[in-house]
Amino acid sequence: MSDNLHVSDHALVKHKLTLLRDTTTEHKKFRELIRELAMLLGYEAMADLKLAEYAVKTPLAEAPGYILQEDVGLVPILRAGLGMVDGIHEMNPGAQVWHLGIYRDEHTLRPVSYYNKLPVEPTVQVCLILDPMLATGGSATAAVDILKAWGVKRIKFVGLIAAPEGIKTLTKAHPDVQLYLAAVDDHLNEYGFIVPGLGDAGDRQFGTG
């Protein structure tokens, strides 16, 4: 297993992911679970953010401390990544949110980019790409291509469930990108769905499909 692949072993992640997969889980609960899982995985993904030493005055004395030195961009891939933003944003309220619209053509399974309003110059040093599902890896690879072209050097992918095929594609194209996942599933079926997976993460969040 690559050093850049982090699959959570946390009991809460395992518990919540099981509820998320359950076909009887309703949209509202599904959205809550996506938010909570994103928070837990985002916490791990931001563990190595650069800090500067910062002396803080307590009511009693000066104490040594730290402040964040890096600007973080949260980059949800529309649509399904949207539900992963709020939890992570609450933990790091200084983060910027940059949306990328990428959908997967259902026949070719190739990513189609349809929305990107990134400014010319990068405004952050670290980006967390947010998308619950890493299936063929095409969408995530396209997102990393876009962010690297924008000029961001440190890019991490935060997902929930990945297929081995998607991990292989993304890590081959971008070996420097770290992956934070809740689980690696068995395989992709003939329609490009992760098995056992959880179905369509966008449809289950937004009540469509």
Q: Which residues bind ligand PRP (CB under 6 A)?
A: 77-80, 103-104, 109, 111, 131-140, 166, 192, 200-202
**Rounded Cα gap, residues 182 and 159, in angstroms:** 7
Minimum distance, C-beta of residue 167 to ligand PRP, in the bound complex (Å): 10
User: Is 104 part of the annotated catalytic residue set?
Assistant: yes
Select 73 or 202, whichever has its Cβ closest to ligand PRP.
202
With b meaning 16 or more CB within 10 Å and e meaning fewer, what string describes 153-173?
ebbbbbbbbbbebbbebbbee
Select 131 or 185, whichever has its Cβ closest to ligand PRP.
131
Amino acid at 65: G
Select 39 or 173, whichever has its Cβ closest to ligand PRP.
173
Minimum distance, C-beta of residue 78 to ligand PRP, in the bound complex (Å): 6
User: Distance from CA of residue 196 to its chain's centroid?
Assistant: 20
Select 76 or 122, whichever has its Cβ closest to ligand PRP.
76
User: Is 22 part of the annotated catalytic residue set?
Assistant: no
Given the residues 21, 71, 104, 145, select the one marked as catalytic.
Answer: 104
Given the residues 108, 110, 123, 186, select the one marked as catalytic.
Answer: 108
Minimum distance, C-beta of residue 108 to ligand PRP, in the bound complex (Å): 10
Minimum distance, C-beta of residue 118 to ligand PRP, in the bound complex (Å): 18
Residue showing the smallest CB distance to ligand PRP in the complex:
202
**Rounded Cα gap, residues 25 and 48, in angstroms:** 34
End-to-end CA gap in the chain = 35
Residue 71 CA neighbour count, 13 Å, CB half:
8
User: Is 108 part of the annotated catalytic residue set?
Assistant: yes
User: Is 31 part of the annotated catalytic residue set?
Assistant: no
Please name the helix (run of DSSP H) or strand (run of DSSP E) that holds residue 180, with its range, or none.
strand 178-181
3-state secondary structure of 183: strand
Residues involved in catalysis: 104, 108, 200, 203
